[in-house]
């Protein structure tokens, strides 16, 4: 037979552990220091970054080749999303 206090202790340890590791995941990089900013904010910087990743004509280059029916299906899915 299990004691009542054991489940409460396990829940407490679990909550503290999850909270602690969650905090370390987001807070530790700030404590250790972030890398220096390497990107500029100008339009030429943005354009060179877009060209470097091949996104000059949009993200379609990363999607598999498809016919018009697939594109229409994707468009209908986006219509279902409400913002």
> What residues make up the domain containing 54?
36-83
- Asked whether residue 63 falls in the same domain as residue 81, the answer is yes
Alpha-carbon distance of 14 to 19, in angstroms, equals 8
- Asked whether residue 58 falls in the same domain as residue 20, the answer is no
What is the pLDDT, as a whole number, of residue 12? 87
What is the pLDDT, as a whole number, of residue 77? 67
Give the pLDDT confidence of 43-81 residue by residue, as tens digits.
Answer: 888 888 888 887 777 776 666 665 566 666 666 766 665
Average pLDDT over residues 8-32: 84
Does pTM surpass 0.95?
no
Query: Do the Cβ atoms of 53 and 59 come closer than 8 Å?
Result: no
Name the band, by pLDDT with cuts 50, 70 and 90, for residue 1: very low
What is the pLDDT, as a whole number, of residue 41? 82
- Asked whether residue 41 falls in the same domain as residue 80, the answer is yes
């Amino acid at each position: 037979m299990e004691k009542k206090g054991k489940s409460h202790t396990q829940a407490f340890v679990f909550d503290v552990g999850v909270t602690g590791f969650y905090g370390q995941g987001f807070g530790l990089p700030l404590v250790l220091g972030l890398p220096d900013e390497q990107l500029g904010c100008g339009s030429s910087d943005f354009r060179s970054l877009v060209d470097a990743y091949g996104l000059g004509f949009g993200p379609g280059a990363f999607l598999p080749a498809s016919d018009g029916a697939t594109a229409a299906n994707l468009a209908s899915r986006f219509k279902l999303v409400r913002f």
